[in-house]
Amino acid sequence: MTELAAAKAALKTQAVETPSWAYGNSGTRFKVFAQQGVPRTPFEKLDDAAKVHEFTGVAPTVALHIPWDKVDDYAALAKHAEQRGVKLGAINSNTFQDDDYKLGSICHPEASVRRKAVDHLLECVDIMDATGSADLKLWFADGTNYPGQDDIRGRQDRLAEGLAEVYERLGDGQRMLLEYKFFEPAFYTTDVPDWGTAYAHCLKLGPKAQVVVDTGHHAPGTNIEFIVATLLREGKLGGFDFNSRFYADDDLMVGAADPFQLFRIMYEVVRGGGFSPEVAFMLDQCHNIEAKIPAIIRSVMNVQEATAKALLVDGDALRAAQRAGDVLEANAVVMDAYNTDVRPLLREVREEMGLDPEPLAAYRRSGWGEKIVAERVGGQQAGWGA
Amino acid sequence: MTELAAAKAALKTQAVETPSWAYGNSGTRFKVFAQQGVPRTPFEKLDDAAKVHEFTGVAPTVALHIPWDKVDDYAALAKHAEQRGVKLGAINSNTFQDDDYKLGSICHPEASVRRKAVDHLLECVDIMDATGSADLKLWFADGTNYPGQDDIRGRQDRLAEGLAEVYERLGDGQRMLLEYKFFEPAFYTTDVPDWGTAYAHCLKLGPKAQVVVDTGHHAPGTNIEFIVATLLREGKLGGFDFNSRFYADDDLMVGAADPFQLFRIMYEVVRGGGFSPEVAFMLDQCHNIEAKIPAIIRSVMNVQEATAKALLVDGDALRAAQRAGDVLEANAVVMDAYNTDVRPLLREVREEMGLDPEPLAAYRRSGWGEKIVAERVGGQQAGWGA
Amino acid sequence: MTELAAAKAALKTQAVETPSWAYGNSGTRFKVFAQQGVPRTPFEKLDDAAKVHEFTGVAPTVALHIPWDKVDDYAALAKHAEQRGVKLGAINSNTFQDDDYKLGSICHPEASVRRKAVDHLLECVDIMDATGSADLKLWFADGTNYPGQDDIRGRQDRLAEGLAEVYERLGDGQRMLLEYKFFEPAFYTTDVPDWGTAYAHCLKLGPKAQVVVDTGHHAPGTNIEFIVATLLREGKLGGFDFNSRFYADDDLMVGAADPFQLFRIMYEVVRGGGFSPEVAFMLDQCHNIEAKIPAIIRSVMNVQEATAKALLVDGDALRAAQRAGDVLEANAVVMDAYNTDVRPLLREVREEMGLDPEPLAAYRRSGWGEKIVAERVGGQQAGWGA
Amino acid sequence: MTELAAAKAALKTQAVETPSWAYGNSGTRFKVFAQQGVPRTPFEKLDDAAKVHEFTGVAPTVALHIPWDKVDDYAALAKHAEQRGVKLGAINSNTFQDDDYKLGSICHPEASVRRKAVDHLLECVDIMDATGSADLKLWFADGTNYPGQDDIRGRQDRLAEGLAEVYERLGDGQRMLLEYKFFEPAFYTTDVPDWGTAYAHCLKLGPKAQVVVDTGHHAPGTNIEFIVATLLREGKLGGFDFNSRFYADDDLMVGAADPFQLFRIMYEVVRGGGFSPEVAFMLDQCHNIEAKIPAIIRSVMNVQEATAKALLVDGDALRAAQRAGDVLEANAVVMDAYNTDVRPLLREVREEMGLDPEPLAAYRRSGWGEKIVAERVGGQQAGWGA
């Protein structure tokens, strides 16, 4: 098989999970701008996600967020998904929107609040059992705003204790994916602020605990591909939350702010054997001002383009230049792949998959956007609050 | 008059304006945690602000935010304030929470939206006429999230045009204070992102246009005291929005994150003649998790402490060391003032002003906190949305 | 003329000035790694620069740095350049490597040191007269390391006074280009730290004073294309010092760290009419570990590629999408140009200019690299110190 | 024993190691400004370090840097130190100033260079045997400047292999302290860029491998005290390299840029049991423009002041406020200690130790500064190169 053929084969197996909440309204602390046609229920979110998969062919699963996507009958939800051609993916917990969580959840100074938070996480595992989801994705808003507010180390102890209880509850084939974040909504300390902290906890928990890299959750200037390479080397990379940022956790469309960085990340994924089912590729974005479904289709395509370029890096030439200490040539090999316009290749891949080569145009022609605006009238639009 | 006496005299004349919105609920995009006893009306906000002034003696004015503080009768509002011992301060505009402003306000691509935004600003000047406020404070959330979304330069043209119309409307003794901000809620470009942009616009508008420095609105590592010194040298420093930050626009209590920076800023204010009525000292903070009135009292005290230290810098010794090129000695003079515990001095100042030397303790003893929790039941609590 | 033809015509007129010092040794505070074949004299630097122009066709001028490129006979130097097919470009001053400049140069507390610095700048104008250079490029290492070390505002006064004297000395057709830098080598204050400060000084000096944007001289996250658009709108963009950075003033090859940013900058240049002789496009890089001449050729090519992509943006489509408020479509128009592989286009451009389509390969075949290693034996290699 | 008495007792046992290289010349890539009286030999560096200890009483050991402090007879060096009242401390390796290290040392693509680097580290352990030093401090300049230049993961493998060989060589009572650094001199990847990477390697190596926190080696905004608390909790904090920074690795005097941060760090040290012999407190600074010995005395005093404030935090009150979820009160307890002027307390401590209460004044009166300027004439001043 030629390199190009191998790249195409790999691209056809790619899977990018889309998050249910990205189909709902989102915004900043200043304003949430509602959009027409936004889903009112988890079922409608799945309908939208199915459209993304229908036109891209590489978005077969949908992440749920509890309680935003809480339903009485998860089997019915799973069946609804399957009927539309997608499956339920990771279960995302939420321990930041209850009034009790003002000073934290799993790290809260009061045992009763910690109990409530852990119970929620255990409930999420119950839901995984019901949905067949393999991954419990944990992000904690826990932290403090002021020096002295709480005991930094004590909070780590509480975190470790809570995670251990949840870890014990995991069944076969279930994993815990622990996400770190530099800051926000806490503004002084964050209890899992960097990959090192997430890694240290996962290491103690055991093999079912893995680290999630959200590409918007780092200090300015952080070399994310280094972290990816390191976590893969340690066998602790569980997945990605993709998005892009110019400043903080901006949650823009992945690839929109620094497409070269996304390419470098995907190159380390490929190089480190991370292009595999063990590493989950998920989007986690906020489409505050742009149309949501087209933005998600564009994001999936951006991941594809970065992946295609990463797959095209001439490994033999690169290793030869690296061994020779030829800085410019090694860099040139990488840049040659990056500078390639891979859109024709991806059009071919789509056609071979029986898809329209232009997902966005095909989606627009489908009339889905107009249909949901017309039909989804009344009710409560989904958003971060519901 | 001794130096100490001069410092005390200056501290007695200090005035820190508190913002009406800081008394209401606030939060992050993840959650707004409501607090008990929060005001339901602009009148109740003034009641709280009056308490801050009652116990600190240096918070005599209250900034309003339109439309959050819109009332039918501004004369009645002003009278209410006066009866409680405070006055109405700057009028703050809001062009970011209407659905029309999704892609901007005064810089929006559509003329009709720009018209609406400018009309709102003109209405704010009308309100200034009614309240006797001298300052129109302008912060624009305008910007873009994605490269190409709008024309960077075209937006500057629209901004200049809109500001010019508002500037023309200003009466005698009225000023326009233009605030800049690095990012948020826009995540790619912000239309007034730095002091240079604000300065360039103010310069063209004329002497009634001045720049506002919000201490949380800069890129990481920015030397804010340099900007303060430069704007004072240019005669273009209109005032401050004080708060503190570890990461982005965290809006923590001023002096909480880097008290040494606040001291350096206040030193440049003193050194540059900015400790005068021409420079407005305002708070602009969000008390997301801490009790609001005590936090504002603490913030006012933090400004006082930084000011006291700045006033204690031995100018003669400093200039001598600077002239001699004695780096360590010059630094030591500044650090000597900073390392001084000025709390005893401020207790004296307060006693001489007829105040309790411990504002927070006195406030707590007053029972106001319990009273508002008991009495402010029902109704719609004030927040960023109302 | 078609758009493509227009783009090609524009690309043929592009001129990127290379800096004489980039051909010499450079490094970090930890180590300068000497390279074989490095020039020993300004004449040899010109020989190398001529090779860059010979193979790229768009690097016709060479910036000099005084005193590093001080010679007895500038007419001879200029003639040497012309004989090799290039011309002398901007004169760069150096007020940071004399022992007297430990606490600053033009902003130094002592008048005698300021006199020495200004005299050096005046000498640079004399050299411009001799070489026919049009631009005096000023970068000042001035600043302080410790709070209190010197008077921030006093240093601005001294800066303004020194610049005014030099400005008066400028002849017809001569300009002063003032560069700003966030930090380094000063670590607390820098006397020209941002574009606002440079702009304010240039505005007062007059039309011959313009701002230079060094792409590595900003705070983390700064939107450089916004500054470019703003300075062009104000008529105050004098030129660029191109390089790239991941962290601070890394001085890597332009386009190596964030090629998308370089494209966005070049788009604002094109959009704002800056692709003209009034805006100087210069490189300012350090090739610490990579071969110097090939790195400079690659850098010139990177600027060409970014420019080509910027020229290919479909302006009509972009404006239509912006006017319609179609965020995704406007972004897509820009990304479409960026994602285009412009290397075939540039190969055509070069062939039409009578050049080898592959400058680096052609340079390597030329044997120049081997020749200078063989011939430049003995003597003192050029570097930042000489 | 009262709290104050306990604080005083603790302060008397404090030990801050000063680095031999801080007594020599240093600078930036732009210029090294030589100072008069700078030592020419390791023996003279020890003479200066002894003066710092003589006047502060808390700087009993001196870190060496190999090869800068290479001597024929380490026993003689140790004896010289003891005669002056100090001891030799940590041995610092140097794998960045040999021409072979252009592309790295222990991570270099070529085995021969890696061998050379590891041999140097082994030689450092030999020197530890000779000097009786307990700590081998490792900082690697290794990294890359350009994407693709070398294989990120391969370099980690080489790093692990090299460290393992050195670890095996350590004797009883000897430790390896591994330092991380965000960037510089490498500008794309750094092979040990963050605490997580250092921690992961130390964990695999074993109990004799510990992490060193250099306070200037983090991304902007990083919460260093969180890292300190975490490493202490993990039993992996080996020590500190103290200095301060406004921007990058500025290497200013510790406590000069953000004294509140230094206090918060020292608070976590105290709280986490790190105020013990297992945690080494070292300075690592560059006195580029200020007098060296006085700057080091000032730095030691700054550490003392931050420590004193940390020791004064009312732990009972803090824990009570934290347990009660009283954000403002908990913060107030911490700020109360920080705002205390501890200089009188430290004067008492010094007097009780038989020292002059004002170390800097006493040093100045001693005439040592004038003596070394007069006597250290001729020879090669020590600096980073020698």
pLDDT tens-digit map of B37-56: 999 999 999 999 999 999 99
**Closest residue of C to A334, CA-based?**
C256
Specify the pTM: 0.98
D142 interface with A at CB cutoff 8 Å: no
Is C246 close to A223, i.e. CB distance below 8 A? yes
Q: What is the pLDDT of residue C386?
A: 52
Residues 222-241 of A with CB under 8 A from D: 222-223, 225-227, 229-230, 232-234
Pairing assessment for the beta strands C189-190 and C143-144 based on DSSP bridges: antiparallel
The per-residue pLDDT string of chain C (386 residues; one tens digit each, 9 = 90 and over) reads: 688 999 999 999 999 999 999 999 999 999 999 999 999 999 999 999 999 999 999 999 999 999 999 999 999 999 999 999 999 999 999 999 999 999 999 999 999 999 999 999 999 999 999 999 999 999 999 999 999 999 999 999 999 999 999 999 999 999 999 999 999 999 999 999 999 999 999 999 999 999 999 999 999 999 999 999 999 999 999 999 999 999 999 999 999 999 999 999 999 999 999 999 999 999 999 999 999 999 999 999 999 999 999 999 999 999 999 999 999 999 999 999 999 999 999 999 999 999 999 999 999 999 999 999 999 999 999 998 65
Q: Least CB-CB distance to D219: which of A157, A222, A319?
A: A222
Shortest distance between the Cα of A219 and any Cα of chain D, in A, equals 6
**Closest residue of C to A220, CA-based?**
C220
Q: Do B195 and B162 touch, CB atoms closer than 8 A?
A: no
Q: How many CB atoms lie within 10 A of CB B243?
A: 26
Query: Rounded mean pLDDT of A240-269?
Result: 98
B247 interface with A at CB cutoff 8 Å: yes
CA angle C141, C147, C152 (to 5 degrees): 60
Collect all residues with Cβ–Cβ distance below 8 Å to C1 and sequence separation of at least 6.
Answer: C9
Neighbours of chain B (3+ CB pairs under 8 A): A, C, D
Phi-psi domain of C152 (left: phi exceeds 0; alpha: psi -120 through 50; beta: other): alpha
Q: How many CB atoms lie within 10 A of CB D2?
A: 7
A310 interface with D at CB cutoff 8 Å: no
Collect all residues with Cβ–Cβ distance below 8 Å to B362 and sequence separation of at least 6.
Answer: B55, B355, B356
Shortest distance between the Cα of A257 and any Cα of chain B, in A, equals 8
Q: Which two tokens stand for residue C258?
A: 């964030």
A339 contact residues in C (CB cutoff 8 A): 305, 341, 343
CA-based nearest residue to C150, from B324, B358, B138? B324
- Mean pLDDT, all residues of chain B: 97
Collect all residues with Cβ–Cβ distance below 8 Å to A112 and sequence separation of at least 6.
Answer: none
Q: How many CB atoms lie within 10 A of CB C175?
A: 22
B223 contact residues in D (CB cutoff 8 A): 246
Q: What is the pLDDT of residue A9?
A: 96
**CB-count burial class (<10 Å; 0-12, 13-18, 19+) for C83:** exposed
Collect all residues with Cβ–Cβ distance below 8 Å to C371 and sequence separation of at least 6.
Answer: none
A201 interface with B at CB cutoff 8 Å: no
**Closest residue of B to D263, CA-based?**
B258
C112 interface with B at CB cutoff 8 Å: no
Query: Rounded mean pLDDT of B319-336?
Result: 98
Helices (H), chain A: 3-13, 42-56, 74-83, 111-131, 152-169, 195-205, 224-233, 259-271, 292-312, 315-323, 327-339, 343-352, 359-366, 368-375
Query: Rounded mean pLDDT of D274-281?
Result: 93
B258 contact residues in D (CB cutoff 8 A): 258, 260-261
Shortest distance between the Cα of D95 and any Cα of chain B, in A, equals 31
Q: What is the pLDDT of residue B220?
A: 98
B221 interface with A at CB cutoff 8 Å: no
**Closest residue of A to B221, CA-based?**
A220
D36 interface with A at CB cutoff 8 Å: no
Is C268 close to B153, i.e. CB distance below 8 A? yes
Share of chain A above pLDDT 70, in %: 99
D68 interface with C at CB cutoff 8 Å: no
Share of chain D above pLDDT 90, in %: 98
| A199: amino acid identity, one letter | Y
Q: What is the pLDDT of residues B197-236, one digit of tens each?
A: 999 999 999 999 999 999 999 999 999 999 999 999 999 9
Is C327 close to A289, i.e. CB distance below 8 A? yes
A223 contact residues in C (CB cutoff 8 A): 246
Pairing assessment for the beta strands D143-144 and D189-190 based on DSSP bridges: antiparallel
Is D193 close to A223, i.e. CB distance below 8 A? yes
Alpha carbon distance C250, C374 (integer Å): 30
**CB-count burial class (<10 Å; 0-12, 13-18, 19+) for A59:** buried
Phi-psi domain of D179 (left: phi exceeds 0; alpha: psi -120 through 50; beta: other): beta
Is A188 close to B30, i.e. CB distance below 8 A? no
CA-based nearest residue to D136, from D105, D183, D169, D103? D169
D145 contact residues in C (CB cutoff 8 A): 250, 252, 288-290
Q: Which two tokens stand for residue C295?
A: 């790195």
Q: Least CB-CB distance to C102: which of D33, D102, D145?
A: D33
pLDDT band at D1 (very low <50, low <70, confident <90, very high): low
Alpha carbon distance B223, D125 (integer Å): 43
Q: What is the pLDDT of residue C160?
A: 98
DSSP state of C253: P
The DSSP-derived string for A289-357 is SS-HHHHHHHHHHHHHHHHHHHHHS-HHHHHHHHHTT-HHHHHHHHHHHHHS--HHHHHHHHHHTTS-S
Alpha carbon distance C197, B169 (integer Å): 30
Measure CA B160 to chain center. Answer: 23
Is B290 close to D327, i.e. CB distance below 8 A? yes
D268 contact residues in A (CB cutoff 8 A): 152-153
Alpha carbon distance D318, D316 (integer Å): 5
pLDDT band at D154 (very low <50, low <70, confident <90, very high): very high
**Closest residue of C to D295, CA-based?**
C146
B12 interface with C at CB cutoff 8 Å: no
Is C257 close to D290, i.e. CB distance below 8 A? no
A204 interface with D at CB cutoff 8 Å: no
Q: What is the pLDDT of residue C116?
A: 98
Neighbours of chain C (3+ CB pairs under 8 A): A, B, D
Q: Do C308 and C7 touch, CB atoms closer than 8 A?
A: yes
Q: What is the pLDDT of residues A184-232, one digit of tens each?
A: 999 999 999 999 999 999 999 999 999 999 999 999 999 999 999 999 9
CA-based nearest residue to C42, from C166, C127, C169, C116? C127
- Mean pLDDT, all residues of chain A: 97
Neighbours of chain A (3+ CB pairs under 8 A): B, C, D
Q: What is the pLDDT of residue A3?
A: 82
Query: Rounded mean pLDDT of D265-287?
Result: 96
Q: What is the pLDDT of residues A170-193, one digit of tens each?
A: 999 999 999 999 999 999 999 999
Q: Length of chain C, please?
A: 386
Q: What is the pLDDT of residues C98-147, one digit of tens each?
A: 999 999 999 999 999 999 999 999 999 999 999 999 999 999 999 999 99
Is C226 close to B110, i.e. CB distance below 8 A? no
Query: Rounded mean pLDDT of A235-255?
Result: 98
B294 contact residues in D (CB cutoff 8 A): 328
Place of tokens 């700078």: D38
Shortest distance between the Cα of C226 and any Cα of chain B, in A, equals 7
Q: What is the pLDDT of residue D3?
A: 83
Is B339 close to D256, i.e. CB distance below 8 A? no
Is B152 close to C268, i.e. CB distance below 8 A? yes
Q: What is the pLDDT of residue D254?
A: 98
The residue among C217, C247, C299 with the most chain D CBs within 10 A of its CB, best to mutate, is C247
Question: Strand pairing partners for C347?
Answer: none
Count of CB contacts below 8 A, A vs D? 158
Neighbours of chain D (3+ CB pairs under 8 A): A, B, C
Shortest distance between the Cα of D175 and any Cα of chain C, in A, equals 26
Query: Rounded mean pLDDT of A10-31?
Result: 97
Shortest distance between the Cα of A196 and any Cα of chain D, in A, equals 4
Shortest distance between the Cα of C54 and any Cα of chain D, in A, equals 26
B1 pLDDT more than 70: no
Q: What is the pLDDT of residues A286-307, one digit of tens each?
A: 999 999 999 999 999 999 999 9
Place of tokens 């600003």: B121
Is A183 close to B246, i.e. CB distance below 8 A? yes
Alpha carbon distance B181, B211 (integer Å): 11
C295 interface with A at CB cutoff 8 Å: yes
Q: What is the pLDDT of residues D208-245, one digit of tens each?
A: 999 999 999 999 999 999 999 999 999 999 999 999 99
Is A185 close to B250, i.e. CB distance below 8 A? no
B248 interface with C at CB cutoff 8 Å: no
C109 contact residues in B (CB cutoff 8 A): 322-323, 325
Residues 326-345 of D with CB under 8 A from A: 327-328, 330-335
CA angle C162, B196, C277 (to 5 degrees): 70
B287 interface with D at CB cutoff 8 Å: no
Q: What is the pLDDT of residue B150?
A: 98
